[in-house]
Amino acid sequence: MNAVSRQIRPGRRQPLLSVSHLTKAYGRTLGCEDISFDLFPGEIIAIVGESGSGKSTLLNCLSGQMVPDKGSVVYAMQDKGPTDVLTLKEPERRRLMRTDWGLVHQNPRDGLRMAVSAGGNIGERPMGLGARHYGDIRNEAQDWLTQVEIDLSRTDHHPKTFSGGMQQRLQIARILVTRPRLVFMDEPTGGLDVSVQARLLDLLRGLVMNIGVAVVLVTHDLSVARLLAHRIIVMRRGNIVETGLTDQVLDDPHHPYTQLLVSSVL
Amino acid sequence: MAYVAVKGGEQAILNSHRLIAEERRGDAAVPELTVRQVAEQMGLAVDRVMCEGSVYDRELAALALKQAQGDAVEAIFLLRAYRTTMPRFAVSNTLDTAQMAIQRRVSATFKDIPGGHVLGSTYEYTHRLLDFDLLDPAPCEDTKANIADRPLESGVGRAFDSIRDEGLIEVETAPAGQQAVFDLTREPLSLPAGRDQRLQNLARGDEGFVVGLAYSALRGYGAAHPYVGETRVGDVAVEIVPEELGFAVSIGDITVTECQMLDLFGGSELQPAQFTRGYGLSFGKSERKAMGMAIVDRSLRCRELGEEARYPVQDEEFVLAHTDNLEAAGFVSHLTLPHYVDFQADLQFIRQLRREKSGDHLDKEAAE
Amino acid sequence: MTANQEGAARGGRRSAYNFAYLDEQSKRMIRRCILKAMAVPGFQVPFGSREMPLAYGWGTGGIQLTASIIGPDDRLKVIDQGADDATNAVSIRRFFKKVTGVETTEQTSAATIIQTRHRVPETALEERQILIYQVPSPEPLKRLEPREAETRKMHAYGEYGLMSVQLYEDISRFGHIATTNSYPVMTNERYLMSPSPIPKFDNPKLGKNPAIQLFGAGREKRIYAVPPYTQVRSLDFDDHPFKVQRWTQSCSLCGATESYLDEILMDDKGQRMFVCSDTDYCATRKESQQASSNDGTSGSPAHPSREAEKGPNS
């Protein structure tokens, strides 16, 4: 994985993730219907919509937390190339989830081990992959703490002593340590103060651009999408109503629903 | 020398056994309790021991109680250990509680029910006043309760059958394709557990723990809104089908308490609003246990009914792994066993940490 | 080891218990689980644990293992904390004497089956021997992940990162790995396994051992095994290698410097002495020392009763 291979060259490169006709219903209620899109290496795509629009269902189906009724989620796996992750066996899916993928929960408590130190939280994924040198594991953890702007004096502290913003940054460090190629983020700035949000977004943007990770970002907040995403997918009642480059969609929305969303923010 | 203290285990054990026997017998001037007396006059204690001991035998349960000085958990232990050595002759047909010879039958759902409510013997409407007359043995007077002229019809339906016919109560059908009922006494608990495992586990579970869990579900640490659809106590026939005969024969009657709780269910995407059921069954007259069991059973069905599981009583692994009082009592009591070796290891470790800490301290001082 | 079908003990009007208490069906079921456990070293095999006449937590797993493999020709040793005369060891030995009538012994080298709680004998075991551990909590991941449904998957998929997190946390907090007993091991480089609450001092004895090692957890209904000569590695970090406890003292009775020592309080003024936790090891050493210094005098006063105890009613 060199820097060149991480650059975005849509059109000429294979997509990292290719979603086709994904459908999930709860009884008679629709979760999401016939969703298709491609995500390229290093690309950040934001899925926006109100609550109940199906964006969380979609994220859950993509990240393996829920089994869709129909469709495929083809991922360019490092060892065996494009593979429908829905057909993966459980150990393979779990392995993918803790190596090449990551999931940033809205509530950091869901993504962190609250009774384990910050260093241990970051060290878990490397240790799961066989890291056996305490000093190296700790150095790498501290390197990531620095990257997410957490003071090294907090290395051995438990996340429960951290502020919400710090917890969220720790959660991100815990995932990025294995340099995943794809990260799912579920309202990563939800529940944070506006000033804390801004700092986190800034940091996220820097990190993501730096290591060239692709991101599927679910948010109801268009300003988050504008700041982070290359492309936007607008969802309503389980369906995609509009999709395009972020600036394009936000500055010149075509669908009436998107227009409504944009105007309600402004 | 102090070292002698860990010696002499064998003699100590023998002496301890003698001491138990002495304490069990108590004052030799007082007549010894007979097993028959326990079986006849401590009937509810016997019922509990039979239920959690998983053996329906009043004499053995009474013996266990006598031997255990009335300690129910110890008596249950004795009965279970005995059960281990028993060969298994047959598996009975499903008990048909609809054909119960009813001694008590109440429902909280309708004032009038076909077949009528039968209060039966219950402490519920007694005033809990110590009856000092019982201090002294009294001659057995003819104080028999009035008995109805004609016996209750057998085969009375459940109190809530009328609304069941309206489709307002969940229909319970045996799971398709299931070959045999899980046997928790032969196989270890296997999670996720089917309802057969769960009900066996709860029936054998500690009454106090099960009722406490049910209480928590009612008190806000759970989502229960139960109504007693029907509780009935009475005798049912146990039938087996001997291979050589090929048809069912009754091998005797047992007294059981059955409780069906109805729980308001608001409906989901998959199922319409209706009353769902929780089921409880216990040996003898153990109504508290049967009701608690029914509430816990219903609470544990949350996953199947698509409800959010938030509380301990809805957590299958938490509940089912901790109901058994033999497992619980055994593990708690084993802490009295020596842990010298483990303790020594921890002691060494603490000393080492403290030594290193004071060492650090000295190093710093030296550096200054 | 064929089981004797005849009732070995008769007590009370109702009972006539089978040889070694358990019925033959149950023994067969347990032996099948043992074979499975031997075939997959370190893997926890669920088994239909029976209610035994001793309480859960008091060695029911070990007792069921012993009961299902013991035969009339076996010689049984039972130790608790290394000692043959600890109350529970006495109790279990008495139980088997009663229900099997087999010979019992306190000599490690003379036993064919050794049931133990919390220690591995100091004397090296041989191929003809079986060591049976009583296990309270077979799941090494339990404290980190309480859910069995999840820990089963972690074992199946070899996801053991979490265990290392525990060790990492110890080092960052204490400067050492703080686990002193039940120290987790990797068996045959595949399954993470709890060696039962033996002190980590005993961990090195598990690997490449000529004897069969069986582990029984009655309350938790699991059996696992380490077949002879299997690799067993105590978890550690490259820069924080596994180390066992060492004492600055030596045994006050036999002078041993290489054995696990118990601390004995002599009085309430803090007077202490250290003696071997393995009573047979200590007594054997004392005897040989005395035999070499002066022939024919009496044996050790501290470990007096070491002769094989014979028969059901001795």
Domain limits, chain A: 12-100+180-266, 110-179
DSSP string, B61-104: HHHHHHHTTT-HHHHHHHHHHHHHT------PPPP-GGG-EEEE
**Sign of torsion, CA B100 B101 B103 B108?**
positive
Residue tagged active-site, from C33, C42, C61, C216: C42
Mean of the pLDDT values across residues B71-79?
96
Residue B178: what pLDDT? Answer: 65
Instruction: Report the distance separating Cα C163 and Cα C178, nearest Å.
Output: 13
Residue A171: what pLDDT? Answer: 95
In the complex, which subunits touch B with 3 or more CB pairs below 8 angstroms? A, C
Q: Is B67 exposed, middle or buried (0-12, 13-18, 19+ CB in 10 A)?
A: middle
Q: Which two tokens stand for residue C308?
A: 């094989």
* Residues of chain B above pLDDT 90, percent: 52
Q: Which residues of C touch A156 (CB under 8 A)?
A: 172-173
Strands A214-219, B101-106: pairing kind: unpaired
Q: Is the pLDDT of residue B6 over 50?
A: no
Write down the residue that tokens 């066989």 correspond to: A130
Task: Report ipTM for this prediction.
Answer: 0.86
Q: Is C254 a catalytic residue?
A: yes
Topology of the domain comprising A12-100+180-266: Rossmann fold (3.40.50)
pLDDT-derived band at C2 (thresholds 50, 70, 90) equals very low
Write down the residue that tokens 């002066």 correspond to: C294
Residue C312: what pLDDT? Answer: 43
Question: Judged by CB atoms within 8 Å, which residues 139-198 of C form the interface with B?
Answer: 146-149, 174-176, 178, 180-181, 197-198
- Per mean pLDDT, which range of A59-63, B98-102, B307-311, C218-222 is the poorest? B307-311
Residue B165: what pLDDT? Answer: 77
Q: Is C216 a catalytic residue?
A: no
Q: Is B284 exposed, middle or buried (0-12, 13-18, 19+ CB in 10 A)?
A: buried
B307 versus A15: the higher-pLDDT residue is A15
Write out the E strands in chain C. Answer: 9-11, 15-17, 45-46, 75-80, 103-104, 113-117, 130-134, 185-187, 191-193, 212-217, 222-226, 232-234, 261-265, 272-276
Strands B249-265, B274-283: pairing kind: antiparallel
pLDDT-derived band at C4 (thresholds 50, 70, 90) equals very low
Q: Which two tokens stand for residue A191?
A: 């529940």
pLDDT-derived band at B290 (thresholds 50, 70, 90) equals very high
Q: Report angle CA B89, B93, B96 to the nearest 5 degrees.
A: 140
C183-194 per-residue burial string, b: 16 or more CB within 10 A, e: under 16: bbbbbbeebbbb
Q: Is the pLDDT of residue C5 over 50?
A: no
In the complex, which subunits touch C with 3 or more CB pairs below 8 angstroms? A, B
Q: Is the pLDDT of residue B138 over 60?
A: yes
Average pLDDT, chain B: 87
Q: Is B304 exposed, middle or buried (0-12, 13-18, 19+ CB in 10 A)?
A: exposed
Q: Are the Cβ atoms of A134 and C240 closer than 8 angstroms?
A: yes
Q: Are the Cβ atoms of A134 and C159 closer than 8 angstroms?
A: no
pLDDT-derived band at C300 (thresholds 50, 70, 90) equals very low
In the complex, which subunits touch A with 3 or more CB pairs below 8 angstroms? B, C
Q: Is C276 a catalytic residue?
A: yes
Give me the residue from C153, C156, C165 closest to A120, CB to CB: C165
CB-based contact (8 Å) between B8 and chain C?
A: yes
C contact set with A (CB within 8 A): 153, 156-157, 159-162, 164-165, 168-169, 171-173, 237-240
Q: Is the pLDDT of residue B5 over 50?
A: no
The nearest alpha carbon in chain B to A28 belongs to B269
The nearest alpha carbon in chain A to C143 belongs to A115
Residue B114: what pLDDT? Answer: 81
Residue B104: what pLDDT? Answer: 92
Residue C247: what pLDDT? Answer: 87
Q: Which two tokens stand for residue B82?
A: 């005995």
User: Tell me: the pLDDT tens digits for A13-56?
Assistant: 789 999 999 999 887 778 899 999 999 999 999 999 888 888 98
Amino acid making up residue B306 = G
pLDDT-derived band at B340 (thresholds 50, 70, 90) equals confident
Q: Which residues of A touch C189 (CB under 8 A)?
A: none
Q: Which two tokens stand for residue B221?
A: 């640490």
Q: Which two tokens stand for residue C257?
A: 């410097």
Contact (CB, 8 A) for C229 and C238: no
pLDDT-derived band at B338 (thresholds 50, 70, 90) equals confident
Residue A266: what pLDDT? Answer: 46
Q: Is C251 a catalytic residue?
A: yes
Specify the DSSP element, H or E, that contains A228. helix A222-228
How many beta carbons lie within 10 A of that of residue A29, not counting itself? 10
CB-based contact (8 Å) between A27 and chain B?
A: yes
Residue A191: what pLDDT? Answer: 77
Interface test with A, best of C165, C171, C173 (most A CBs within 10 A): C165
> Whose CA is closest to A168, among A115, A118, A123?
A118
Instruction: Report the distance separating Cα C3 and Cα C27, nearest Å.
Output: 9
Q: Is the pLDDT of residue C314 over 50?
A: no
**Sign of torsion, CA A88 A92 A96 A97?**
positive
Residue A61: what pLDDT? Answer: 92
Q: Are the Cβ atoms of C172 and A119 closer than 8 angstroms?
A: yes
Residue C134: what pLDDT? Answer: 97
The nearest alpha carbon in chain A to C172 belongs to A156
Q: C230 vs chain A: nearest CA distance in angstroms?
A: 22
- The DSSP bridge partners found for residue A199 are none
Q: C92 vs chain A: nearest CA distance in angstroms?
A: 40
Contact (CB, 8 A) for C106 and C305: yes
Q: Is the pLDDT of residue C309 over 50?
A: no
C198 versus B173: the higher-pLDDT residue is C198
Residue tagged active-site, from C12, C59, C254, C270: C254
Task: State the number of CA atoms in the 13 A half-sphere of A178 facing the CB.
Answer: 26
How many beta carbons lie within 10 A of that of residue C258, not counting itself? 11
Residue B358: what pLDDT? Answer: 81
Strands C75-80, C113-117: pairing kind: parallel
Q: Is the pLDDT of residue C16 over 90?
A: no
> Whose CA is closest to B344, among C277, C252, C173?
C277
pLDDT-derived band at B267 (thresholds 50, 70, 90) equals confident
User: Tell me: the pLDDT tens digits for B24-54?
Assistant: 999 999 999 999 999 999 999 999 999 999 9
Strands A44-48, B101-106: pairing kind: unpaired
The nearest alpha carbon in chain C to B315 belongs to C147
CB-based contact (8 Å) between B56 and chain C?
A: no
Residue A265: what pLDDT? Answer: 62
pLDDT-derived band at C10 (thresholds 50, 70, 90) equals very low
Q: Are the Cβ atoms of B352 and C176 closer than 8 angstroms?
A: yes
Amino acid making up residue B6 = V
Q: Are the Cβ atoms of C87 and B331 closer than 8 angstroms?
A: no
Residue B8: what pLDDT? Answer: 61
pLDDT-derived band at B270 (thresholds 50, 70, 90) equals low
User: Tell me: the pLDDT tens digits for B206-235?
Assistant: 999 999 999 999 988 988 889 999 999 999
Residue C104: what pLDDT? Answer: 95
Those residues whose C-beta lies under 8 Å from the C-beta of residue C197, and which sit 6 or more positions away, are: B339, B341, B342, C118, C136, C181, C182
Interface test with C, best of B14, B327, B341 (most C CBs within 10 A): B341
Instruction: Report the distance separating Cα C135 and Cα C82, nearest Å.
Output: 15
Instruction: Report the distance separating Cα A40 and Cα A10, nearest Å.
Output: 6
Instruction: Report the distance separating Cα B238 and Cα B228, nearest Å.
Output: 26
Contact (CB, 8 A) for C41 and C79: no
Q: Using 70 as the pLDDT threshold, list the residues of chain A that sit under it.
A: 1-12, 265-266
